[in-house]
Protein backbone atom coordinates (compact mmCIF):
# COMPACT_ATOMS: atom_id res chain seq x y z
CA UNK A 1 0.00 0.00 0.00
CA UNK A 2 2.97 2.29 0.43
CA UNK A 3 3.77 1.94 -3.24
CA UNK A 4 0.86 3.82 -4.69
CA UNK A 5 0.92 7.49 -3.72
CA UNK A 6 -2.24 8.31 -5.59
CA UNK A 7 -4.66 6.44 -3.36
CA UNK A 8 -7.40 8.64 -1.88
CA UNK A 9 -5.87 8.03 1.52
CA UNK A 10 -2.47 9.41 0.57
CA UNK A 11 -4.09 12.35 -1.16
CA UNK A 12 -6.12 13.09 1.94
CA UNK A 13 -2.99 13.01 4.09
CA UNK A 14 -1.17 15.32 1.68
CA UNK A 15 -4.08 17.77 1.68
CA UNK A 16 -4.28 17.65 5.48
CA UNK A 17 -0.57 18.41 5.87
CA UNK A 18 -0.81 21.23 3.33
CA UNK A 19 -3.77 22.73 5.16
CA UNK A 20 -2.00 22.47 8.51
CA UNK A 21 1.19 24.01 7.11
CA UNK A 22 -0.76 26.92 5.66
CA UNK A 23 -3.01 27.31 8.71
CA UNK A 24 -1.63 30.64 9.95
CA UNK A 25 -2.41 32.05 6.50
CA UNK A 26 -6.01 30.96 6.20
CA UNK A 27 -6.92 30.98 9.88
CA UNK A 28 -8.33 34.29 10.90
CA UNK A 29 -6.24 35.82 13.63
CA UNK A 30 -3.60 34.88 16.17
CA UNK A 31 -6.11 33.51 18.62
CA UNK A 32 -7.07 30.63 16.36
CA UNK A 33 -3.43 29.89 15.58
CA UNK A 34 -2.89 29.53 19.31
CA UNK A 35 -5.92 27.27 19.61
CA UNK A 36 -4.45 25.17 16.80
CA UNK A 37 -1.12 24.94 18.68
CA UNK A 38 -2.96 23.71 21.74
CA UNK A 39 -4.82 21.10 19.74
CA UNK A 40 -1.55 19.86 18.30
CA UNK A 41 0.36 19.45 21.55
CA UNK A 42 -2.63 17.94 23.29
CA UNK A 43 -2.88 15.60 20.30
CA UNK A 44 0.70 14.49 20.94
CA UNK A 45 -0.26 13.86 24.57
CA UNK A 46 -3.34 11.90 23.49
CA UNK A 47 -1.27 9.89 21.00
CA UNK A 48 1.04 9.00 23.86
CA UNK A 49 -1.81 7.87 26.08
CA UNK A 50 -3.32 5.98 23.17
CA UNK A 51 -0.28 3.73 23.02
CA UNK A 52 -1.43 2.33 26.33
CA UNK A 53 -5.21 2.73 26.15
CA UNK A 54 -5.69 1.79 22.50
CA UNK A 55 -2.88 -0.61 21.64
CA UNK A 56 -1.98 -2.17 24.97
CA UNK A 57 -5.47 -2.19 26.48
CA UNK A 58 -4.18 -0.48 29.64
CA UNK A 59 -6.26 2.48 30.80
CA UNK A 60 -4.09 4.96 32.65
CA UNK A 61 -5.85 7.54 34.84
CA UNK A 62 -2.69 9.27 35.99
CA UNK A 63 -1.09 10.39 32.77
CA UNK A 64 -1.51 14.10 33.44
CA UNK A 65 0.91 13.65 36.33
CA UNK A 66 3.63 12.44 33.95
CA UNK A 67 2.82 15.30 31.60
CA UNK A 68 3.16 17.62 34.57
CA UNK A 69 6.44 16.11 35.74
CA UNK A 70 8.07 16.91 32.39
CA UNK A 71 6.60 20.41 32.50
CA UNK A 72 7.81 20.99 36.07
CA UNK A 73 11.25 19.62 35.21
CA UNK A 74 11.57 22.12 32.36
CA UNK A 75 10.36 25.05 34.45
CA UNK A 76 12.52 24.07 37.41
CA UNK A 77 15.68 23.74 35.31
CA UNK A 78 15.02 27.11 33.70
CA UNK A 79 14.46 28.60 37.13
CA UNK A 80 17.83 27.26 38.23
CA UNK A 81 19.32 29.18 35.33
CA UNK A 82 20.04 26.42 32.83
CA UNK A 83 19.55 26.97 29.13
CA UNK A 84 16.66 25.70 27.06
CA UNK A 85 18.57 22.79 25.53
CA UNK A 86 19.71 21.39 28.87
CA UNK A 87 16.28 21.96 30.39
CA UNK A 88 14.47 20.18 27.59
CA UNK A 89 16.88 17.24 27.62
CA UNK A 90 16.65 16.86 31.38
CA UNK A 91 12.86 17.13 31.20
CA UNK A 92 12.71 14.38 28.58
CA UNK A 93 14.96 12.22 30.70
CA UNK A 94 12.99 12.89 33.88
CA UNK A 95 9.73 12.28 32.02
CA UNK A 96 10.79 8.92 30.64
CA UNK A 97 12.45 7.89 33.90
CA UNK A 98 9.28 8.71 35.83
CA UNK A 99 7.35 6.69 33.29
CA UNK A 100 9.69 3.74 33.86
CA UNK A 101 8.97 3.79 37.59
CA UNK A 102 5.28 4.35 36.91
CA UNK A 103 5.30 1.36 34.56
CA UNK A 104 7.17 -0.97 36.90
CA UNK A 105 4.60 -0.25 39.59
CA UNK A 106 1.44 -0.23 37.52
CA UNK A 107 2.21 -3.16 35.22
CA UNK A 108 1.78 -5.54 38.11
CA UNK A 109 -1.87 -5.39 37.20
CA UNK A 110 -4.23 -4.97 34.27
CA UNK A 111 -7.84 -3.88 33.84
CA UNK A 112 -9.40 -2.10 36.80
CA UNK A 113 -6.31 -2.80 38.91
CA UNK A 114 -4.17 -0.88 36.44
CA UNK A 115 -6.62 2.03 36.51
CA UNK A 116 -6.49 2.14 40.29
CA UNK A 117 -2.69 2.00 40.53
CA UNK A 118 -2.22 4.72 37.92
CA UNK A 119 -4.84 6.81 39.67
CA UNK A 120 -2.98 6.43 42.97
CA UNK A 121 0.34 7.30 41.31
CA UNK A 122 -1.20 10.34 39.68
CA UNK A 123 -2.60 11.52 43.01
CA UNK A 124 0.78 11.02 44.71
CA UNK A 125 2.57 13.13 42.10
CA UNK A 126 -0.17 15.76 42.23
CA UNK A 127 0.06 15.77 46.03
CA UNK A 128 3.81 16.34 45.87
CA UNK A 129 3.46 19.18 43.36
CA UNK A 130 0.72 20.68 45.50
CA UNK A 131 2.30 20.46 48.92
CA UNK A 132 6.07 20.17 48.42
CA UNK A 133 6.21 23.94 48.38
CA UNK A 134 9.94 24.32 48.75
CA UNK A 135 10.41 22.55 45.42
CA UNK A 136 7.36 23.44 43.35
CA UNK A 137 6.05 26.66 44.87
CA UNK A 138 2.72 24.95 45.53
CA UNK A 139 -0.31 26.77 44.21
CA UNK A 140 1.82 29.74 43.19
CA UNK A 141 3.34 27.64 40.43
CA UNK A 142 6.51 28.37 38.47
CA UNK A 143 6.75 30.97 35.72
CA UNK A 144 8.70 30.38 32.54
CA UNK A 145 9.68 33.88 31.49
CA UNK A 146 10.89 33.14 27.95
CA UNK A 147 10.25 30.73 25.13
CA UNK A 148 13.34 29.42 23.33
CA UNK A 149 14.54 30.78 20.00
CA UNK A 150 16.28 27.86 18.25
CA UNK A 151 18.64 29.18 15.54
CA UNK A 152 17.16 32.64 15.94
CA UNK A 153 13.64 31.37 15.23
CA UNK A 154 11.76 33.22 17.97
CA UNK A 155 9.05 30.99 19.39
CA UNK A 156 7.56 33.90 21.31
CA UNK A 157 5.67 34.63 18.11
CA UNK A 158 2.39 32.63 17.96
CA UNK A 159 2.90 31.55 14.35
CA UNK A 160 6.45 30.39 14.96
CA UNK A 161 5.38 28.47 18.00
CA UNK A 162 2.69 26.86 15.90
CA UNK A 163 5.21 25.70 13.31
CA UNK A 164 7.51 24.18 15.90
CA UNK A 165 4.53 22.42 17.46
CA UNK A 166 3.39 21.26 14.04
CA UNK A 167 6.78 19.73 13.27
CA UNK A 168 6.86 17.93 16.62
CA UNK A 169 3.30 16.81 16.02
CA UNK A 170 4.05 15.43 12.55
CA UNK A 171 7.13 13.63 13.84
CA UNK A 172 5.01 12.10 16.59
CA UNK A 173 2.37 10.98 14.10
CA UNK A 174 5.05 9.41 11.89
CA UNK A 175 6.55 7.69 14.90
CA UNK A 176 3.11 6.38 15.82
CA UNK A 177 2.46 5.18 12.27
CA UNK A 178 5.76 3.31 12.20
CA UNK A 179 5.11 1.90 15.64
CA UNK A 180 1.63 0.68 14.73
CA UNK A 181 2.86 -1.16 11.65
CA UNK A 182 5.99 -2.56 13.24
CA UNK A 183 6.22 -6.11 14.53
CA UNK A 184 6.44 -4.56 17.98
CA UNK A 185 3.09 -2.85 17.46
CA UNK A 186 1.58 -6.12 16.36
CA UNK A 187 3.01 -7.87 19.39
CA UNK A 188 1.60 -5.15 21.67
CA UNK A 189 -1.85 -5.60 20.16
CA UNK A 190 -1.39 -9.30 20.72
CA UNK A 191 -0.75 -8.72 24.42
CA UNK A 192 -3.93 -6.67 24.52
CA UNK A 193 -6.17 -9.26 22.86
CA UNK A 194 -4.59 -12.55 23.84
CA UNK A 195 -2.05 -12.08 26.63
CA UNK A 196 -1.99 -15.76 27.57
CA UNK A 197 -1.54 -16.96 24.03
CA UNK A 198 1.24 -14.42 23.51
CA UNK A 199 2.91 -15.76 26.58
CA UNK A 200 2.59 -19.29 25.33
CA UNK A 201 4.07 -18.23 22.00
CA UNK A 202 7.19 -17.17 23.83
CA UNK A 203 6.65 -13.40 23.96
CA UNK A 204 7.65 -11.60 27.08
CA UNK A 205 4.33 -9.88 27.68
CA UNK A 206 5.54 -7.74 30.57
CA UNK A 207 8.56 -6.44 28.68
CA UNK A 208 6.48 -5.58 25.61
CA UNK A 209 4.12 -3.58 27.79
CA UNK A 210 7.03 -1.92 29.54
CA UNK A 211 8.53 -0.73 26.26
CA UNK A 212 5.11 0.52 25.21
CA UNK A 213 4.95 2.51 28.45
CA UNK A 214 8.33 4.09 27.73
CA UNK A 215 7.20 5.12 24.26
CA UNK A 216 4.01 6.55 25.74
CA UNK A 217 6.07 8.35 28.37
CA UNK A 218 8.30 9.90 25.74
CA UNK A 219 5.36 11.37 23.81
CA UNK A 220 3.79 12.51 27.07
CA UNK A 221 7.00 14.26 28.13
CA UNK A 222 7.35 15.92 24.72
CA UNK A 223 3.83 17.30 24.95
CA UNK A 224 4.38 18.37 28.56
CA UNK A 225 7.41 20.42 27.49
CA UNK A 226 5.44 22.03 24.66
CA UNK A 227 2.67 22.79 27.14
CA UNK A 228 4.93 24.54 29.63
CA UNK A 229 6.48 26.64 26.89
CA UNK A 230 3.05 27.45 25.54
CA UNK A 231 1.45 28.61 28.81
CA UNK A 232 4.81 29.73 30.29
CA UNK A 233 3.45 28.66 33.65
CA UNK A 234 3.00 25.42 35.53
CA UNK A 235 0.99 24.74 38.67
CA UNK A 236 -0.37 21.62 40.37
CA UNK A 237 -3.75 21.81 38.65
CA UNK A 238 -2.10 20.51 35.49
CA UNK A 239 -1.42 17.21 37.28
CA UNK A 240 -4.87 16.79 38.79
CA UNK A 241 -7.20 13.88 38.22
CA UNK A 242 -9.45 16.12 36.12
CA UNK A 243 -6.61 16.71 33.67
CA UNK A 244 -5.94 12.98 33.43
CA UNK A 245 -9.62 12.44 32.80
CA UNK A 246 -9.63 15.06 30.05
CA UNK A 247 -6.83 13.48 28.07
CA UNK A 248 -8.43 10.08 28.51
CA UNK A 249 -11.61 11.64 27.15
CA UNK A 250 -9.67 12.76 24.07
CA UNK A 251 -8.52 9.20 23.38
CA UNK A 252 -11.84 7.53 24.16
CA UNK A 253 -13.87 10.11 22.25
CA UNK A 254 -11.74 10.05 19.14
CA UNK A 255 -11.24 6.32 18.99
CA UNK A 256 -8.70 4.34 20.98
CA UNK A 257 -6.43 2.15 18.91
CA UNK A 258 -6.63 4.36 15.84
CA UNK A 259 -4.05 6.83 14.60
CA UNK A 260 -6.49 9.60 13.81
CA UNK A 261 -8.78 9.13 16.81
CA UNK A 262 -6.73 10.85 19.54
CA UNK A 263 -6.04 13.77 17.20
CA UNK A 264 -9.74 14.27 16.53
CA UNK A 265 -10.43 13.81 20.24
CA UNK A 266 -7.84 16.44 21.17
CA UNK A 267 -9.43 18.82 18.70
CA UNK A 268 -12.86 18.19 20.15
CA UNK A 269 -11.88 18.67 23.79
CA UNK A 270 -9.67 21.71 23.20
CA UNK A 271 -12.35 23.39 21.11
CA UNK A 272 -15.02 22.76 23.73
CA UNK A 273 -12.71 24.07 26.47
CA UNK A 274 -11.47 27.15 24.66
CA UNK A 275 -13.88 28.21 21.94
CA UNK A 276 -17.24 26.71 22.90
CA UNK A 277 -16.81 27.69 26.55
CA UNK A 278 -17.05 31.31 25.37
CA UNK A 279 -20.59 30.70 24.19
CA UNK A 280 -21.95 28.06 26.54
CA UNK A 281 -21.62 28.75 30.21
CA UNK A 282 -22.19 25.14 31.20
CA UNK A 283 -19.30 23.76 29.18
CA UNK A 284 -18.18 21.37 31.90
CA UNK A 285 -21.59 19.76 31.75
CA UNK A 286 -21.31 19.55 27.97
CA UNK A 287 -17.90 17.88 28.23
CA UNK A 288 -19.29 15.28 30.63
CA UNK A 289 -22.34 14.70 28.44
CA UNK A 290 -20.20 14.20 25.33
CA UNK A 291 -18.11 11.71 27.26
CA UNK A 292 -21.12 9.70 28.44
CA UNK A 293 -22.81 9.81 25.05
CA UNK A 294 -19.74 8.59 23.20
CA UNK A 295 -19.05 5.76 25.61
CA UNK A 296 -22.63 4.54 25.36
CA UNK A 297 -23.54 5.26 21.75
CA UNK A 298 -20.21 5.03 19.97
CA UNK A 299 -18.08 2.83 22.17
CA UNK A 300 -15.23 2.61 19.70
CA UNK A 301 -14.99 6.39 19.36
CA UNK A 302 -15.86 9.07 16.85
CA UNK A 303 -13.42 8.14 14.11
CA UNK A 304 -14.30 4.44 13.78
CA UNK A 305 -17.93 5.25 14.57
CA UNK A 306 -18.37 7.81 11.82
CA UNK A 307 -16.43 5.64 9.37
CA UNK A 308 -18.85 2.84 10.07
CA UNK A 309 -21.87 5.10 9.71
CA UNK A 310 -20.47 6.50 6.49
CA UNK A 311 -19.91 3.05 5.03
CA UNK A 312 -23.41 2.01 5.97
CA UNK A 313 -24.72 5.21 4.41
CA UNK A 314 -22.84 4.56 1.17
CA UNK A 315 -24.13 1.01 0.99
CA UNK A 316 -27.70 2.11 1.55
CA UNK A 317 -27.60 4.65 -1.21
CA UNK A 318 -28.86 3.76 -4.68
CA UNK A 319 -26.16 1.66 -6.31
CA UNK A 320 -24.84 3.99 -9.05
CA UNK A 321 -22.08 5.95 -7.22
CA UNK A 322 -21.17 3.13 -4.90
CA UNK A 323 -20.29 0.78 -7.77
CA UNK A 324 -17.42 2.84 -9.14
CA UNK A 325 -15.93 3.00 -5.67
CA UNK A 326 -16.17 -0.72 -5.26
CA UNK A 327 -13.63 -1.51 -7.97
CA UNK A 328 -10.52 -2.73 -6.21
Partner 1 sequence: MNFWLVLTVNSITFGGLLFLLSAGFSLIFGLMRIPNLTHGSLFMLGAYVGATFTVGLLGFKLNFWLAAILATLAVAAIGALAERLLLRRLPGDQLAQVLVTLGLSFMAADLCLMLWGGDPLNVTTPDGLGGFVRVGTVAFPMYRLAIIAIAIVVAVGLWLLLDRTRLGAMIRAGVDDPDMARVVGIRVSQLFTIVFALGAGLAAFAGIIGGPILSVYPGLDQDMLPLALVVVILGGTGSLLGSFVGSIIVGFIYNFGQALLPELAYFVLFMPMLLVLLLRPQGLFGRQIP
Partner 2 sequence: MSRKFSRRTVMAGTAAGAVAAAFKFPSPALAQAAPFKLGLLTVKTGPLAQGGIQMEQGVITYLKEKNYTFAGRKVEFISADTGGNPAGTKTKAQELVEREKVDAILGPLAAFELLAITDYINEQKTPMLSLAGAEDMTQRRPNPYFLRPSATSAQAMHPMADFAAKELKLKRIVTISEDFAFGHEQMGGFQQTFEEAGGKIVNKIWPPLVTPDYTPFVAQIGDCDGVCQGFAGSNPLRFLKTYAAAGLKFPVVTGETGGDDALLRSLGDEALGMYSSCPYTLDFDNDSNKRFVAAMQKDYGIDPGFYASGLYVAAQTVAAGLEKTNGKSDDKDAFVKALRSVELKDTPRGAIKYDHFGNVIGDFFIRHLEKVNGKLVNKTVKTYHNVSQFWTYDEKKFLAAPVYSRNYPPLKS
Binding site residues, partner 1, CB under 8 A: 59, 105, 108-109, 111-113, 115-117, 119-121, 123-124, 126-128, 130-134, 241-242, 245, 248-249, 252, 282, 284-285, 287-292, 295-296, 299
Member of 273, 286, 291, 300 binding partner 2 (CB under 8 A): 273
CB of 320 to partner 1, least distance (A): 38
Residue selected from 3, 8, 81, 145 as contacting partner 2 according to rule CB under 8 A: 145
Q: Does residue number 325 form part of the binding site for partner 2 (CB under 8 A)?
A: no
Radius of gyration of the chain measured on its C-alpha atoms: 20
Other Cβ atoms within 10 Å of 136 Cβ, number:
22
135 binds partner 2 (CB under 8 A): no
Least Cα distance to 23 among 121, 151, 161, 119 occurs for 161
**Least distance (Å) between residue 195 CB and partner 1:** 16
Does residue 284 interact with partner 2 by CB under 8 A? yes
What is the DSSP code (8-state) at residue 6? T
Angle subtended at Cα 287 by Cα 286 and Cα 289, rounded to the nearest 5 degrees:
60
Q: Kindly state the smallest distance separating residue 236's Cβ from partner 2, in Å.
A: 10
149 touches partner 2 by CB under 8 A? no
Q: Does 26 bind partner 2 (CB under 8 A)?
A: no
Minimal distance in Å, beta carbon 278 to partner 2? 6
Selection from partner 1, partner 2, none that 119 binds (CB < 5 to 8 A by kind) is: partner 1
Residue 165 is a binding residue for partner 2 (CB under 8 A): no
The residue range among 74-82, 139-147, 159-167, 311-319 that interacts with partner 2, by the rule CB under 8 A, is 139-147
- 160 counts as binding partner 2 under rule CB under 8 A: no
Q: Which partner from the list partner 2, partner 1, none does 232 bind, CB cut-off 5 to 8 Å by kind?
A: partner 2
Cα–Cα distance, 150 to 115 (Å, whole number): 39
* Alpha carbon of residue 112 to chain centroid: 21
Q: What's the distance, CA 248 to chain centroid?
A: 9
Rounded Cα distance between 216 and 52, Å, is: 7
Dihedral, 213, 53, 227, 287 alpha carbons, nearest 10: -160
- State which of positions 55-114 bind partner 2 (CB under 8 A): none
Stretch that binds partner 2, among 8-16, 91-99, 127-135, 195-203 (CB under 8 A): 127-135
Task: List the single partner that 112 binds among partner 1, partner 2, none, CB under 5 to 8 Å by kind.
Answer: partner 1
Q: Is the Cβ–Cβ distance between 265 and 302 less than 8 Å? A: yes
242: closest CA among 74, 65, 113?
Answer: 65
Site size for partner 2 (CB under 8 A): 35
The greatest distance separating any two alpha carbons of the chain, rounded to the nearest whole angstrom, comes to 70
Q: What angle do CA 123, 128, 131 make, to 5 degrees?
A: 115
Alpha-helical regions (H) of 22-132: 23-26, 30-50, 63-80, 84-106, 111-131
139, 194, 293, 314: residue in contact with partner 2 (rule CB under 8 A): 139
4 binds, among partner 1, partner 2, none (CB under 5 to 8 A by kind): none
Q: E strands within the chain?
A: 142-143, 233-234
Q: Which long-range contacts (CB under 8 A, 24 or more apart) does 30-35 make?
A: 30/158, 30/159, 33/158, 33/159, 33/162, 34/158, 34/161, 34/162, 35/270, 35/271, 35/274, 35/275
Residues near partner 2, by CB under 8 A: 28-32, 34-35, 38, 130-131, 133, 138-141, 143, 145, 156, 158, 227, 231-233, 235, 237-238, 273-274, 277-279, 281-284
Amino acid sequence: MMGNFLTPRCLAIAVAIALLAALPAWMNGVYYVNVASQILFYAVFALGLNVLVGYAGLTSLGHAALFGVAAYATAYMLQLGYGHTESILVALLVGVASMAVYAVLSLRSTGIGFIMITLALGEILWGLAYRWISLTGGDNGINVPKRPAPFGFAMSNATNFYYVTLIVFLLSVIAMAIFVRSPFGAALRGTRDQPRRMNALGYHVWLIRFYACLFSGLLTAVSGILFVYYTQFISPQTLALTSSAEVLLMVIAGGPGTLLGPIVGAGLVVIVKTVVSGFIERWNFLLGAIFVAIVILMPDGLVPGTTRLWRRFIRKRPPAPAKTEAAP
